[in-house]
């Protein structure tokens, strides 16, 4: 499981002209990719890592200040462009494997007390954010 995490001053995701998730103020935007060997246990660990990641102002975590998260599925995080000009997506888990694991990360974050917005799995999404810092990390489990 791989996540690109961005500290943001605000963010939204829109699908077919409607906002499916957003937040104003400090929070985290999480682009989340799933690969073939990911498990529900990795989903739990990823959620705990994201909730406790100390990258907000004053080295605070989202859990410290109740900051929201916007979690967006992103199979392209497992794209491989080392050869040629066209990436391959072989390392990305197929939808029937990936979608329940993305949902598990979101559910676990909510169980931990997080306010979580989402995109729509497999949809053409438009993501807008104000990157704060900017701070962007790759988290891999």
Catalytic residues: 74-76
Cα distances from 86 to residues 82, 89, 90, 127, 139, in angstroms, run 9, 10, 12, 23, 25
Entry field: residues in the chain: 141
Dihedral Cα 71, 77, 132, 48, nearest 10 deg: 50
Task: Name every residue whose Cβ is closer than 8 Å to that of residue 12 and which is 6 or more positions away in sequence.
Answer: 19, 21, 22, 23, 70, 127, 128, 129
């Amino acid at each position: 499981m791989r996540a690109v995490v961005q500290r943001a001053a605000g963010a939204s995701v829109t699908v077919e002209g409607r906002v499916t998730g957003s937040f104003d103020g400090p929070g985290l935007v999480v682009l989340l990719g799933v690969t073939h060997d990911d498990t529900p246990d990795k989903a739990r660990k990823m959620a705990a890592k994201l909730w406790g990641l100390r990258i907000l102002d004053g080295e605070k975590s989202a859990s410290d200040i109740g900051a929201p998260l916007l979690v967006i599925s992103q199979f392209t995080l497992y794209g491989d462009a080392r050869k040629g000009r066209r990436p391959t997506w072989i390392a990305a888990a197929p939808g029937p494997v990936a979608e329940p694991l993305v949902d598990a990360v979101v559910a676990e974050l909510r169980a931990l007390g997080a306010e979580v917005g989402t995109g729509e799995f497999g949809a053409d999404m438009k993501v807008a954010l104000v990157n704060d810092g900017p701070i962007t990390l790759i988290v891999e489990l």
